[in-house]
């Protein structure tokens, strides 16, 4: 006989989205069952960059979690980004916002093997969160006002009133019950490699985004990690990969081996492990992310930033919105699709302006690589413009200027 569970709330997937949803629910006094197919620590193919949004959400959850993360020996702090334009000119930009207090690094770099394990260890502190590892859910059925879940090996059955789906980019539930299908125009193919001893890394651990014309509208990255390691990878929109017939792995290795600036830096470096790929479902289109008795969060709901590829912060932001909705809908004892649609409104109300702007910037950079050259060239020579770009990372109104033709007109003809 299979083991049976009957929680009010069941979360499928214990990545950053699922673990954060469980933690926000626990904070509100709501118990849940958190089901995960892997056993931690487990790897996740990623750039391993934790943005300012992750920092802010951890602070909201509990400032002591952020303090614990800052003490982890596996992470390093990062406070800026180096942009390399298609013409290979570089611009070094510290994250400096008009609003942020300078009380720690703006972001972190930490392998997902360690960060996801760190978050899951936080969930173990709450008796209201029951974690079931090694349990892959492969079957969902709806009976009356409940969902019934079955594990792949048939040993576990879960009956629940509210499902929070956080099983990532290849979500079975999102495809079959949430009708979210992969659209190549709104999807990125990503590759990740770990290299030891890449030379010329930034002295303050700035991350590097190289907008090489071969990968536009995407980029090649080098992100520093602890122990002289670097996360190196590339992301490119899937429709472009197909239409331009790019073999992403061969192209990445070719750039590392032939582009003089990269070749020199990788001369003494060694690849550790395989180069591995995974998808990034982008939030460049608004989709329905809730229905009868369920909410989709993180990659399962296609919520990755279309310009930066940042998905961890958005997964955590959607987890917070889903937990808030769950608390309110459970309180009213209404888990129907109309009630849960307030999750869509809450999440997109907070993040749609940002996602939409990022989509516009992604398309602008893809169609007009010359604009990236222009901005980087001018900003490298003009301190005020450099500082404006620095604020754009966290200030949406400032970022909005980047999509306006008047911004480039002024750049070309003298002002900024």
Q: Which residues contact ligand FAD (rule: CB under 6 A)?
A: 12-18, 35-38, 44-49, 51, 136-137, 166-168, 172, 190, 192, 233, 235, 278, 280, 298-300, 304, 309-313, 315
Q: Are 330 and 28 in contact (CB under 8 A)?
A: no
Closer to ligand FAD at the Cβ: 11 or 330? 11
Least Å distance between CB 120 and ligand FAD? Answer: 9
DSSP category for residue 192: E
Q: Give the CA radius of gyration of the chain.
A: 22
CA atoms of 293 and 162, how far apart (whole Å)? 5
Residue among 263, 259, 233 nearest 248 (CA): 233
CA atoms of 65 and 26, how far apart (whole Å)? 14
CA atoms of 325 and 289, how far apart (whole Å)? 12
Least Å distance between CB 413 and ligand FAD? Answer: 36
Q: Are 411 and 378 in contact (CB under 8 A)?
A: yes
If phi over 0 gives left and psi between -120 and 50 gives alpha, with beta otherwise, what is residue 197?
Answer: left
Least Å distance between CB 401 and ligand FAD? Answer: 24
Closest residue by beta carbon to ligand FAD:
311
Sequence-distant (≥ 6) Cβ neighbours of residue 254 within 8 angstroms? none
Least Å distance between CB 35 and ligand FAD? Answer: 5
Residue among 264, 310, 306 nearest 283 (CA): 306
Least Å distance between CB 411 and ligand FAD? Answer: 29
Q: Per-residue DSSP letters for 265-279? A: HHTT-EEEEEEEEEE
Closer to ligand FAD at the Cβ: 34 or 379? 34
Closer to ligand FAD at the Cβ: 308 or 386? 308
How far is the CA of 33 from the CAs of 129, 140, 164, 168, 178, in angstroms? 6, 16, 10, 17, 21
Closer to ligand FAD at the Cβ: 109 or 335? 109
Least Å distance between CB 366 and ligand FAD? Answer: 18
Residue among 116, 129, 120 nearest 26 (CA): 129
Least Å distance between CB 304 and ligand FAD? Answer: 5
Tell the burial category of 30 from Cβ atoms under 10 Å away from its Cβ (0-12, 13-18, 19+): buried
Least Å distance between CB 142 and ligand FAD? Answer: 17
């Amino acid at each position: 006989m299979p083991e049976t569970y009957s929680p009010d709330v069941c979360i499928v997937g214990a990545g950053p989205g699922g673990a954060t949803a469980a933690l926000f629910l626990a904070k509100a006094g709501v118990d849940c069952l958190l089901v995960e197919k892997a056993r931690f620590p487990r790897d996740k193919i990623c750039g391993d960059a934790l943005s300012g949004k992750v920092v802010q959400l951890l602070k909201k959850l509990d400032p002591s979690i952020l303090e614990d993360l800052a003490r982890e020996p596996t992470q390093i702090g990062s406070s800026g980004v180096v942009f390399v334009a298609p013409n290979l000119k570089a611009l070094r930009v510290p994250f400096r916002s008009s609003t942020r207090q300078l009380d720690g690094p703006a972001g972190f770099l930490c392998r997902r093997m360690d960060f996801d394990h760190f978050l899951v260890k936080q969930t173990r502190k709450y008796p209201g969160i029951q974690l079931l590892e090694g349990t892959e859910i492969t079957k969902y059925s709806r009976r009356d006002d409940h969902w019934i879940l079955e594990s792949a090996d048939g040993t576990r059955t879960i009956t629940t009133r509210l499902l929070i789906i956080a099983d990532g980019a290849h979500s079975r539930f999102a495809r079959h019950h949430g009708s979210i299908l992969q659209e190549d125009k709104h999807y990125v193919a990503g590759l990740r490699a770990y290299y030891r001893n890449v030379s010329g890394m930034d002295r303050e651990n700035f991350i590097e985004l190289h907008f090489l014309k071969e990968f536009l509208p995407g980029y090649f990255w080098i992100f520093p990690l602890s122990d002289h390691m670097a996360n190196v990878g590339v992301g490119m929109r899937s429709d472009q990969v197909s239409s331009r017939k790019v073999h992403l792995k061969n192209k990445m290795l070719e750039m590392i081996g032939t582009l003089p600036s990269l070749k020199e830096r990788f001369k003494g470096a060694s690849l550790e492990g395989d180069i591995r790929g995974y998808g990034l479902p982008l939030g460049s289109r608004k989709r329905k992310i809730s229905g009868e008795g369920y909410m989709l969060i993180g990659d399962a709901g296609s919520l990755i930033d279309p310009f930066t590829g940042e998905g961890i912060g958005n997964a955590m932001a959607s987890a917070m919105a889903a937990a808030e909705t769950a608390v309110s809908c459970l309180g009213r004892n209404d888990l129907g699709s109309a009630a849960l649609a307030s999750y869509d409104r809450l999440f997109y109300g907070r993040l749609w302006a940002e996602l939409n702007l990022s989509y516009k910037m992604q398309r602008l950079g893809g169609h007009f690589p010359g604009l990236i050259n222009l901005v980087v060239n001018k900003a490298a020579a003009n301190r005020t413009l450099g500082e404006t770009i620095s604020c754009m990372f966290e200030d949406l109104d400032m970022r909005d200027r980047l999509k306006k033709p008047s911004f480039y007109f002024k750049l070309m003809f003298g002002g900024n």
